Structure formats: structure tokens, C-alpha cells
Amino acid sequence: MNIEIFKGYRQFVSEQGVIFYYDGYLSQPIITAMGEALRGKLEAEDSSTKATRKVFSAFVEMMQNIVHYADADASSEKKSNAFGNVAVGFKDQHYFIVSGNTVATSHIERLSSKLEAIRAMSLDEIKAEYKRKLRGGAEEQDENSKGAGLGFLTVARDASEPIEFLFEPILGSGNALSFFYLKATV
């Protein structure tokens, strides 16, 4: 890497308010270590306890989403590990968490539908749906979910604005893979 590119990158992330960034393979131990580093950074910046809790909660849910649902890049040598990225920052008096990972293009319609439905809900509706799903148990679970199906609802519940998302086709994947970006503002 050219040192001037690194210098430009550092300046760019600083201007964007990024305080934490990771791009690479993820596992539960890596998420735990990143979570501890992020919590320490937030506490060092004297963030409120409520803001720290919400940022941390959204961060963990978004990282778990990558570990459980990222589709392996066909060119990846480490198919057993999920690959993704995350940025946490502070800009315009709000924290933001942005994550990204590869998904099968065939999942976009289902994910978009689920996320648009959550975006259309009020905070009270999100909280009510969260509680309903908690009570619903296994019979309520989405067949594609590896958990209770609460991840997106948890992120939306902790966000101060509607969650944002974007899918971008991955060139060279034969249209089989796309990159999925998810953003929460706290």
C-alpha cells in the first residue's frame, strides 16, 4: 500500500467521524474482542451509559448477523469464517454503526421486504413486534433464521432513526452474490 493512500484514508475516516473500523474475517472471539475495544473507546469518550448500551447492542447484533448469515465469497480461501466489515462513528451529535457482508442475491427480496416492513414501523410498533416475537417461540421463527429472528428488530429498537440498507451486486460473482450494507443511527 502506498503510504499516501493510507494518509488519505486516515483523513477520510476522521472527517466521517469514524472511531472504530474493522474489515476481515469474523468469529465469536473476534466479536468479543472488538466489543470490548469499542466499549472501552465509548467509555473513554464519556458517552452516556444509555448511548453506550445502544451502540454496543446494535454493534453486537450486526456482527452476529454477519457471522450467522454471510455467504462465502466463492474466491475466499477461508469458507468456514464469515467475512464482513463494520464502522462505528460519531457525527452530527449521533453515533452510527454500519456493517457489510456478502449475501446470496437470491436472499435480497426476502431481506428487503423484512427491512422495509421494520422501517415503516414506529418505535412503539417495533417494541411490540419484538415482544410478540419473544413470546412466539419456535413456531414464530423464520425458516431462514438461525436465532429468534430478533436481530433487525433489536437494531431498529435501539436506533434513533429508521435503519438504512443497501444491496450492491458483486462483480465477477455471476450475479450470485451481493454486498449487503446495514446502517443504524443511535
Question: Mind listing the pLDDT tens digit for each residue in 45-91?
Answer: 878 899 999 999 999 999 999 998 887 654 444 445 689 999 999 99
Q: Number of folded domains in the chain? A: 1
Interhelix angle 151-158/108-119, rounded to 10 degrees, is 30
* Higher per-residue confidence, 136 vs 8: 8
C-alpha to C-alpha distances, 171 to 105, 156, 175, nearest whole angstrom: 12, 30, 7
CATH number where 73 lies: 3.30.565.10
Q: What is the pTM of this model?
A: 0.87
Share of the chain above pLDDT 70, in %: 88
Mean pLDDT of the chain: 89
pLDDT at 143 over 80: no
Task: Tell me the pLDDT tens digit for each residue of 87-133.
Answer: 999 999 999 999 999 999 999 999 999 999 999 999 999 999 999 99
Q: What is the mean pLDDT of residues 6-22?
A: 93
Cβ contacts of residue 142 below 8 Å, gap of 6+? 149
* Higher per-residue confidence, 136 vs 153: 153
Domain that holds residue 124: 3-185
